[in-house]
A and B are shown apart, each in its own frame.
Chain A
Amino acid sequence: MERFLLKRAIVLVVTLTLVSFLAFLVPWIGDTDPARAIIRSRVADLAMDSAAVEALRIKLGLDQPLLHQFFTWLGRVFQGDLGLSFTSRLPVADQILRAIGVSATLALSALFLALAIALPVGTLAAVHQGRRFDGIVTFIAQGFVSIPEYWLAPVLVLLFAVELGWLPSAGWSGFETLILPAAVLCLRPLAYFSQVMRASMIDVLHANYILAARSRGLGLAGALVRHGLRNGIQPVLTVFALWLAGLLGGSVVVEVIFAIPGMGRLIYSAVINNDMPMLQGSIICIVGLAIVINTTADVLYGVLNPTVTVSGDAR
């Protein structure tokens, strides 16, 4: 276990250093002069004063050699200092931290909602394998995957906010504003979870230990609840972790449509405003989080499934 965590920690540090280097190079590849960009974000293009640009360049250390700049920057990154946003002039790290909290709330709400529906539905589909219920569930799942959220979100807003007036149309101020975005966001994971659950429960249903449990007097439902779920849920957990990592920045469209101040919208506005420190900071954070989440999932997997001894080699 300790060895496993140590190995993963090394992977984390190495990956983050690599990603940091790539992120650091971004402005150079993109041929965006940070000093110029900062000035432009404050004053109109016409008033761009080359002396001011030069002064800022020296102040930011941009006249130093590239590698030197990188290590200075990397040192600061590992201390949690990701610099200041070009546009807001606030520390990037603070903004990202706040945004990740928001995105995590949204993502977890959507994913747990999806899980709550997918587990029973997937199990029932497995029990009715090959019959009508199973076919309908699979078809609906494929339908859900094919619905673009930038279509569903406006339609739901139109229905529930504009026409019926039940829910707010956008914003981030408590439970009510969470419902619509979570509902939109949960459809796709719901489809995946239910299909994964179905497949794994089909295996479980044919497992010998279910037969043995039934021979002890448990009904089919009882045997599935006591002995099936715990074994059947394990593959779903892996997929859950992948989705969580993906949604922590990937719910761009939903966050933009519902004006939710999460990671997705932060990155989107950073792209629109060419806010380089913000982009660099968020890419590092997202990659780091993805690794941490997947490691957590692997550890949890080991807890749920005692036959898996958590180690870096076997998987």
Chain B
Amino acid sequence: MTFLTRIVRWTMRQHWTFIAGLLCGTTVALLLIAAPVISLHDPVAQNLSMRLQGPGGDHWLGNDQLGRDLWARLLYGGRFSVVVAALTLVLSVTIGTVIGAWCGRVGGAIDEFVMRVVDVLISFPEIIVALFLIAIIGPGFGTLVLALTLVGWTPFARLARGIALDISSRDYIAAAEVLGCTRTFILLRHVIPNALRPISAMTFLRFGHKLITVGALSYLGLGVQPPDSDWGAMLADARQFAVRQPLLVFAPGIAIMVTALSVTLMGQGLEIDADRSRRLRAGQS
């Protein structure tokens, strides 16, 4: 209980953008998780008599070009992109942080080499890497995660390396070492708390881009494969019906935007928090 209240108190102290993003993002996440409960219809059940119907009755958002319930498709369609984006980020953060921190700690030729690799990879568009991998091993969930992680780890490596270098040059780390603290203790007590905020901020700030890239591949027909669908694929399907039923284009587009924006806002809130805590600490020392 105390832990929970502490989290709530911490949240209330954050910038309003963080709270707005948190509320919005949580709502989206809950909707996606609870999709089977909330949606009254099967997302793949076709009903050709209902083609391109507007909202009405128990079809809250109307029906698509094959008469499928748009609301149901929206709820289920979010799952694929969001899961790919989230999983990619978890992998990228883990790999990037470990590699970056290790490079910062070891230095020398290894560090130099890894950073040159990062230099080349970091400007490489994710979508191109994904396209190449799809050409080699074919489309699918695994291909997408692999492709996005392959370049996704680089900014985290750079950030973690910077933090590692910065922290190890700080006086209080030297002081802790002089006082005889063990490496593990220093890592747990000083390094991780310092690194947590900026890294989590970057994680949230990168989410929107991942989500949009996954959608882009699906839009091109190389992401999610039928019979599954996601927001990008829905947009591609809806394109030729845009004039007759604009909602088919607007609903998935807005779904992507709201999801991406809310997570970005959380990221920005965390960044402000990281900035503030860094300034506080700088002021104290």
Do A and B interact directly, with beta carbons closer than 8 Å?
A: yes
Picked from A29, A162, A245, A250, the residue with its CB within 8 Å of the CB of B127 is A250
Contact of B128 among A154, A256, A286 (CB under 8 A): A286
Known: A29-B136, A145-B264. A271 touches B236 (CB 8 A): no
Indicate the size class of the contact surface on chain A.
Answer: 35 or more
**Within A108-131, which residues are at the interface with B (CB < 8 Å)?**
none
Contact (Cβ within 8 A) A158 B136: no
Residues of B within 8 A of A148 (CB): 212, 215-216, 232, 235, 253, 256-257, 260
Q: Which residues of A contact B125 (CB under 8 A)?
A: 246-247, 249-250
For B135, the chain A residues whose CB sits under 8 A away are 26, 30, 270-271, 274, 279
Closest to A148 in B: B212
B268 touches A150 (CB 8 A): no
Q: A30-B137, A158-B242, A242-B123 are in contact. Are A267 and B128 (CB under 8 A)?
A: yes
A145 near B132: Cβ-Cβ < 8 Å: no
CB atoms of A15 and B120 under 8 A apart: yes
Q: A146-B264, A151-B249, A274-B135 are in contact. Are A245 and B220 (CB under 8 A)?
A: no
In the assembled complex, the Cα of A148 lies from the Cα of B212 at a distance in Å of 6
> Interface residues of B, CB < 8 Å — how many?
41
Are A154 and B242 touching (Cβ within 8 A)? yes
Q: How far is the CA of A241 from the CA of B136 in the complex (A)?
A: 29
Contact with A along B263-274 (1 / 0, CB 8 A): 011001000000
Q: How far is the CA of A29 from the CA of B132 in the complex (A)?
A: 12
Which B126-173 residues sit within 8 Å CB-CB of chain A? Answer: 126-128, 131-132, 134-137
**Known contacts A252-B131, A271-B135; is-contact A150 B243 (Cβ 8 Å):** no
| Interface status of B278 (Cβ within 8 A of chain A) | no
Q: Which residues of chain A from 260 to 315 have any CB-CB distance to chain B below 8 Å in the complex? A: 267-268, 270-271, 274, 279, 283, 286-287, 290-291, 293-294
Question: Is B209 engaged at the interface, CB distance under 8 Å to the other chain?
Answer: yes
Judged by a CB distance under 8 angstroms, whether A11 is at the interface is yes
The residue from A30, A142, A268 contacting B131, defined by CB atoms under 8 A apart: A268
CB of B243 within 8 A of CB of A158, answer: yes
B116 within 8 A of A: yes
Residues from chain A with Cβ under 8 Å of B208 in the complex: 145-146
Top 8 closest pairs, chain A to chain B, by CB: A250-B125, A151-B253, A146-B260, A146-B261, A30-B136, A245-B123, A150-B219, A271-B135
In the assembled complex, the Cα of A121 lies from the Cα of B257 at a distance in Å of 23
* A26-B136, A246-B124 given; A155·B253 CB < 8 A: yes
Q: Which of A9-55 contact B (CB under 8 A)?
A: 11, 15, 26, 29-30
Among A138, A139, A256, A279, the residue within 8 A (CB) of B220 is: A256
Determine whether the beta carbon of A249 is less than 8 Å from that of B128.
Answer: yes
Instruction: Label chain A's interface by main secondary structure.
Output: helix
Q: Is the CB of A146 within 8 A of B257?
A: yes
Output the nearest chain A residue to B135 by Cβ-Cβ distance: A271
- Residues from chain B with Cβ under 8 Å of A139 in the complex: 17
Flag whether B119 is at the interface (Cβ < 8 A).
yes
21 cross-chain CB contacts under 8 A: A26-B135, A29-B137, A30-B136, A146-B212, A146-B256, A148-B235, A148-B256, A149-B212, A150-B215, A150-B232, A151-B257, A154-B235, A154-B242, A154-B249, A155-B249, A245-B123, A246-B125, A252-B216, A253-B127, A268-B131, A290-B123
Residues B199-238 near A (CB distance < 8 A): 208-209, 212, 215-216, 219-220, 222, 232, 235-236
A287 and B261 contact, CB distance less than 8 A: no
- Please, how many angstroms separate the alpha-carbon atoms of A151 and B219 in the complex? 10
Q: Which residue of B lies closest to A250 (CB)?
A: B125
Looking at B136, B208, B243, B249, the one whose CB has the most chain A CB atoms below 10 A away is B136
Q: Which residues of B contact A149 (CB under 8 A)?
A: 212, 216
